[in-house]
A and B are shown apart, each in its own frame.
Chain A
Amino acid sequence: MIKREWIHAWLLLAPALLLLFAFTHLPAVQTVFDSFWSTPRGRRPAVFVGLDNYQRMLADPIFIKAMVNNAIYALITIPASIALALSMALFVSGKIRGRGTLRMAYFTPTVLPLIAVANIWLFFYLPGFGLFDQIRGLFGFGPINWVGQPTTALYAITAVTIWNQAGFFMIFFLAALQTIPESLREAAALEGASRWTIFWRITWPLIMPTTLFVSVNATINAFRMVDHVFIMTQGGPNNASILLLYYIYDQGFRFWDTAYAATLTVVMVAILCVVGIGQFFLLDRRVHYR
């Protein structure tokens, strides 16, 4: 009897397991393997090269550039998205006129595909005619080619990311704020606490689990969201806005150097694992779970 139940259980699990292994776990393991082999070209099959790919990577200035860029990109987008999302959530959780419309407006960037968003922002950034330059023009400043010059290209795509994901994170903060009973704020207000104190001593600690969740997501996004790079800069000019995932795509699907792309991918997954695990352990001690 028990045996038959086990057979049923495995049969029911089989389809999901099969798909999961075939499309997630196997490729992941395969990627790690590939990073130790050379790229097969024409009739030349792949040969085992040990850590050669990794040595090449460490000596690759574009890889270093991509890593530095990605670090800057992450260090700006994560805190900025969280801060913006939380401010918006605090603003629209209060009793204000047109609250529903405002919430929807804040959320809209999130439902737009990043590709479409990138195209819209290209118009904003257009030298001379774009929104930003028109505003600058009012104050007598000259035009700037925001996405076309190395000094600003990375920050131009960073701004788009923040604009795009803050609305999404706002929803989580909004939900978290609504779980805090009104009486806690009232009790604090009766004690003479200012809004500032109430936020830092009560609201902020109580939404900590949400902040952790959102920051993990923002970190993953910082390595994952590169769609707009394709539209806006293609990593340029002169790799000024290249990000790790975009570089992987370049190596893997434009130059068909699959082994090197696999090596880069391993690095990226390793970074994400370390950051994700680190965040949980580091913040866990400071997070209050109810």
Chain B
Amino acid sequence: MSGIHVSELSKRWGDVHAVHDVSFEVEPGTLTVLLGPSGCGKSTTLRLIAGLDDVSSGTIQIGGRDVTNAPPAEHGVAMVFQSYALFPHLSVRENIIFGLKVRRVDAAERDRRLKRASELLNLSELLDRRPNQLSGGQQQRVALGRAIVAEAPVCLMDEPLSNLDAKLRADMRVEIRALQQRLGLTMVYVTHDQVEAMTMADTIVVMNQGRIEQIASPRELYTRPATTFCARFIGTPPMNLIPSEHVHGHEELPPGSAIGVRAEDLHLDSAGVPATVESVEYLGADELITARIGAAKVVVRQPARADTPSGTVGLAWSPGVAHVFGPDGKRLEEAQGI
């Protein structure tokens, strides 16, 4: 069992800080997701952990061993690339056992691992095919197979599902998570898809512009976002941020502060904060009502059976569901009495 310990990790290209002072811990046998918009440094962080790029400063420990400047092969990690990186001239079988051959694992052991992996991933029928004769989902599984037979304690995944269609993605999500738990892998998984992060992760590391915004479990991330960035990045539609001057009882907050309330926590109540309805989006079970409070746009989710509002309405929320963010975007202590 080996965990990963990343400490004050930075990566610079000239003046560009791709990764800035990033520290986090991955417990052995858990799945940590690096989540953020494109260009936030999550893939670079993963490549640093794999040893594919040179570290500018900071340290990386895998299984208690400092691997900061070690070549990739000595990091003891397996990796699934976004493009799968399957060798196009080799059969599925050869692709999977490539690393074992390179490491001179003996033939019997090689066959045992190949058999296990191909059964685990339903690849037994496909072993003699070439990658270009496989569907996207099958290629993905071969890439997974290659990572599994390495029996490396740590498995890194760089947006492994981004090339699959929505249905397959949902299936593979479950499959990868099940695999990770069954094999007890320590996994670091990079994605920009919040749904993948929320459904799969033990821990989510939210990154933005090369820095960590928050490290938390999915539940905590949703219920107690540390910054307005996290608040709006997680959840669909994004959390509403209402300028505090519009909300009664928050006049003492510094100017620029915001009250965050999720769409599903808002309801129409004539006694609430006045807002002007702009549009209504019908989703079947629910509808999303877009309204304005001053200049701020607010989205309310309500059951579609309710009457469709128009004109000026009042918006209210139950006590305890609101989040308060300071002018710097950081979370202030629990909102009280709102």
Contact = CB atoms under 8 A, between A and B. Distances in A.
Interface string A263-290: 0000000000000000000000000101
A94 B72 CA distance: 18
Given A206-B89, A288-B88, A290-B88, A187 B150 contact: no
Nearest to B50: A190
B52 A189 contact: yes
Contacts of A205: 89
Contacts of A193: 73, 98-99, 102
Nearest to B53: A186
A187 B147 CA distance: 10
A188 B98 contact: yes
B87 to A, nearest CB: 6
B73 A186 contact: no
B93 to A, nearest CB: 14
A201 interface: yes
Could you say which of A186, A205, A288 has the most chain B C-beta atoms within 10 Å of its C-beta?
A186
A187 B79 contact: yes
A192 B99 contact: yes
B88 A186 contact: no
B167 interface: no
Contacts of A186: 50, 52, 72, 79, 81, 85
Interface string A161-203: 0000000000000000000010110111111110001000110
Interface residues of B, number: 24
Contacts of A202: 87, 89
A184 B87 contact: yes
Contacts of A184: 85, 87
B88 A191 contact: no
A191 B98 CA distance: 8
B132 interface: yes
B81 A187 contact: yes
Contact of B98 (A181, A201, A288, A290): A201
A192 B103 contact: yes
Given A288-B89, A290-B132, A189 B81 contact: no
Given A186-B52, A186-B81, A191 B103 contact: yes
A185 to B, nearest CB: 9
A190 B79 contact: yes
Nearest to A208: B89
A181 B85 contact: yes
A51 B311 CA distance: 104
B77 interface: yes
A190 B78 contact: yes
Given A181-B85, A184-B87, A190 B102 contact: no
A188 B102 contact: yes
Contacts, number: 63
Nearest to B150: A191
B38 interface: no
A290 B79 CA distance: 24
Interface string B206-219: 00000000000000
A256 B138 CA distance: 68
A186 B50 CA distance: 10
Nearest to B88: A290
B83 interface: yes
A188 B85 CA distance: 9
Interface in B29-68: 50-52
B13 to A, nearest CB: 13
Nearest to B132: A290
B85 A189 contact: no
B102 A191 contact: yes
Interface string B80-105: 01110101110000000011001100
Nearest to A206: B89
Nearest to B102: A193
A189 B73 contact: yes
B88 A206 contact: yes
Contacts of B85: 181, 183-184, 186-187
B54 to A, nearest CB: 12
Given A183-B83, A186-B52, A191 B89 contact: no
Contacts of B146: 187
B288 to A, nearest CB: 40
Contacts of B72: 186, 189-190
16 contacts: A183-B81, A183-B82, A184-B85, A186-B72, A186-B79, A187-B87, A188-B102, A189-B52, A191-B102, A191-B103, A191-B150, A192-B102, A193-B98, A193-B99, A197-B102, A206-B89
Given A186-B72, A187-B79, 20 more contacts: A181-B83, A183-B85, A184-B85, A186-B85, A187-B85, A189-B52, A189-B71, A189-B72, A190-B51, A190-B78, A190-B99, A191-B73, A191-B98, A191-B150, A192-B102, A193-B73, A193-B99, A197-B102, A202-B89, A205-B89
